[in-house]
Structure 1
Amino acid sequence: MSQLTKRAITESFMKLINQVPFDKITVKDIVEDCGVNRNTFYYHYSDIYALLDEILENETKRVLTENLTESSWRDAILESCSFALKNKKGIYHIYNSLSRRKIDAYLYQVMGRIMYDFVKMQAEGLSVKDEDLHLIADFYKCAFVGLILQWLDSGMKQDPEYIVDKIFSYLEGSTRNMLENAVERNDRK
């Protein structure tokens, strides 16, 4: 029963966020839409921000667990973009509110994990320090989050699949080269 109630609250919130700005949604709006009382809402969430945190955390887990295999980093990035496109109005309502930091944090968390796993895969067979793996992954994470934020700012008009494929075609071989340079510099020390 508890999971059904949480799902009803989440679905109502997602419906509302795709209709009205985040800072205009109240707990009263959510509970009226899903048919639970305020106490039930507060039993599960301390406030609307906690509900949003859980939604983004669950989406992060879903994207990362469903898509991260050695060859599907691309799919994980595209899945994040797909979530944004499916909830375009809601994403903009959050993005243009005081909760923009939550979208930023979500993007950095997802891209951080995807890029670390991608860089680690590229480092196979090399004795790269973990510090270097993280630095290179952070470089890519920041680049991709910057591109995604630019995509959001431009109204999500470009096809994310086109952008991702093009960027990774440009990067082909460069990640391995960066890793080899890191090993070489560490060997010289």
Structure 2
Amino acid sequence: MKQQITKRAITESFRALLAVKPLDKITVRDIVEDCGLTRNTFYYHYEDIYDLLSDVLESEIERALSVPAGGASWETMLLDMLSFLTDSPQIGRHIFQSKCQDAMRVYLSKVISELSDRYIEQNVRDLDYSQQDRKLICDICCHALYGLLEEWLTGRSDVALEAELRRVAQLFEGTVRHALEFSAAHPRT
């Protein structure tokens, strides 16, 4: 229990620092001073900053994937699963603009892939489409969303992410169903 409280203090300090400071500029010293722990305590739980980052992103993936789908709209699922970015966009920018941007890519890919798959599973059950087309459509959604998020995180800070994601969700809502209807009406040969 005490270890969980200590890890939570470390991760909360890290997130707070990440919201105001680029990842590559955050040091273990910054974190332990912020949360009032010793360097030894930090190193008891994490090898380094990048191990901590990995833990934070894994926790976010687990949180995002634990969001129940339950017939939710594309918009609700998208905003719930990506709340890590919409709640603290600067954190996403600081990670993406660091030498650890691959960690952010993995996070986004896992979450967006699961989002697409869950949406289809929950909302487009009544059609007899091919699994190959389903995978293709999921991949297209993933790449489109990933591209938009990467562009936004690496430079388009003039756009409000949550509003942009809401619009994307509205546009995708019928598009995914339409693509699967086409797949069912025009099976692969």
Shift of 1:59: 1.5
Task: Give the structure-2-normalised TM-score.
Answer: 0.83
Shift of 1:3: 0.5
* Aligned equivalent of 1:160: 162
* Aligned equivalent of 1:138: 139
Which string of whole-angstrom CA distances, capped at 9 and with x for unpartnered residues, describes residues 48-76 of structure 1? 11111111121222223235332144223
Shift of 1:167: 3.0
* Aligned equivalent of 2:99: 98
* Identity across matched positions, percent: 37
Contact (CA 8 Å) 1:14, 1:90: kept in 2 or not?
Answer: yes
Which string of whole-angstrom CA distances, capped at 9 and with x for unpartnered residues, describes residues 120-160 of structure 1? 23431233343332221111111111122233221153352
Distance verdict in 2 for CA 1:168–1:82, change over 3 Å:
closer
Deviating more after overlay: 28-37 vs 95-104:
28-37
* Aligned equivalent of 1:20: 21
Q: List runs of 5+ in structure 2 lacking aligned partners.
A: none
Structure 1 moving runs of 4+ over 6 Å: none
Query: How well do the aligned residues superpose, as a CA RMSD in angstroms?
Result: 2.4
C-alpha separation in 2, matches of 1:32 and 1:170? 46
C-alpha separation in 1, matches of 2:24 and 2:174? 45
User: Number of residue pairs matched?
Assistant: 187
SS of alignment partner, residue 85 of structure 2: helix
The higher relative CO (CA closer than 8 Å, separation ≥ 6) is in: 2
Distance verdict in 2 for CA 1:13–1:81, change over 3 Å:
same
